[in-house]
Amino acid sequence: MDPLTALLEGPRAHGAFLLRSVLRPPWSLRIEDEAPLTVLAVVRGDAWLGPAADAPVRLGAGDVAVLRGPDPYLVADDPATPPQAVIQPGQVCVTPDGGHLADLTDLGVRTWGSGLDGPTVLLTGTYPTVGEVSRRLLAALPPVVTAETADDPLVALLAAEIDRDTPGQEAVLDRLLDLLLVRVLREWLDRPAAPSWYRAHSDPVAGHALRLLQDQPEHPWTVAGLASATGVSRAALARRFTDAVGEPPMTYLSAWRLALAADLLRQQPDATLTAIARQVGYRSPFTLSAAFKREYGRSPQHYRLREPA
């Protein structure tokens, strides 16, 4: 399982929050929901997107932005428009001074704003959780990734489905949002700024080794065994892998196994530590527990229960 696939495992399992916003200028929203990942699509009109650390970015109809949380950001009709609403964790909406919103109200199924005839329509999808495996990809992302999707039907499909209230609708929306997310991330990953471990997949030696480690973490890999599987010498494998991925193969494998274990602890609450250790390539739950605590600062049990160290 590659990191891009892993990124979607959490959202598919837990469901994403989706909202259509229909707005009349002047409007400005400060988002403080602390979501780890957000997808924002402009269906009609335009908007300015201003992460706290960067200059505002203008989005037109058909543009999509992926935002890496949990830092707050501003989306507005104009960068100079002061915020009229603050979106807090749990999708609690208040005025900047904490009062009740009057100008922006519920307009129907998954829809809110200042009126259905507003010239600006935004679609927002937030992923409430992500796993440890996918954090490797998220950590490589800039605060905002944008893409033009004017010729892509996904935004139109999502816009057509978001205000429907029929059986199975949440699953439909999750799939569409996932596809839109992959569409944007794939475009970004094809750029020179993509992380080295992603670009390494195109290397015939390092890419082959990387896929073996990702797909078979339970195998008792050694540098010699990995070199044999890829048809090169140990020295050649170590050099090619480290140059392409940015770290030696066994270092990558250790981090990969522990990230998989972390996700399995929460995805499989009834699984024993022994079973999880076996799945990710540790000989015993004791060696997994010791390595896990070194990496995450708390025991697997505390991590599973979301308890502090």
Is residue 104 over pLDDT 90?
Answer: no
Residue 39 is encoded by which pair of tokens?
Answer: 């997808």
Separation in Å, CA 19 to CA 22, 109, 119, 243: 10, 9, 17, 43
- Amino acid sitting at position 48: W
Secondary structure class of 277 (helix, strand, coil): helix
CA 120: distance to chain centroid? 26
pLDDT in tens, 251-299: 999 999 999 999 999 889 999 999 999 999 999 999 999 999 999 999 9
Secondary structure class of 27 (helix, strand, coil): coil
pLDDT in tens, 236-259: 999 999 999 999 999 999 999 999
Is residue 116 over pLDDT 50?
Answer: yes
Give the position of tokens 């502090």.
308
Q: Contact at 8 Å (CB) between 47 and 125? A: no
pLDDT in tens, 44-84: 999 999 875 568 899 999 899 999 888 899 999 999 999 99
Q: What angle do CA 91, 94, 98 make, to 5 degrees?
A: 130
The answer, yes or no, to whether the previous bond of 269 is cis (omega within 30 of 0) is no
| 303: CB partners within 8 A, 6+ apart | 262, 265, 266, 292, 296
| Predicted local distance difference test score (pLDDT) of residue 115 | 84
Residue 307 has, within 13 A of its CA and on its CB side, a CA count of: 9
- Amino acid sitting at position 32: E
How far is 14 from 188, CA to CA, in rounded Å?
25
| Predicted local distance difference test score (pLDDT) of residue 106 | 83
pLDDT in tens, 6-50: 655 554 545 678 899 999 999 999 999 998 889 999 999 999 998
The answer, yes or no, to whether the previous bond of 128 is cis (omega within 30 of 0) is no
- Helix 249-267 / helix 273-280 crossing angle, nearest 10 deg: 150
How far is 290 from 293, CA to CA, in rounded Å?
5
| Predicted local distance difference test score (pLDDT) of residue 15 | 63
DSSP state of 51: E
DSSP state of 217: T
| Predicted local distance difference test score (pLDDT) of residue 227 | 97
| Predicted local distance difference test score (pLDDT) of residue 53 | 54
Selected residue with higher pLDDT from 247 and 129? 247
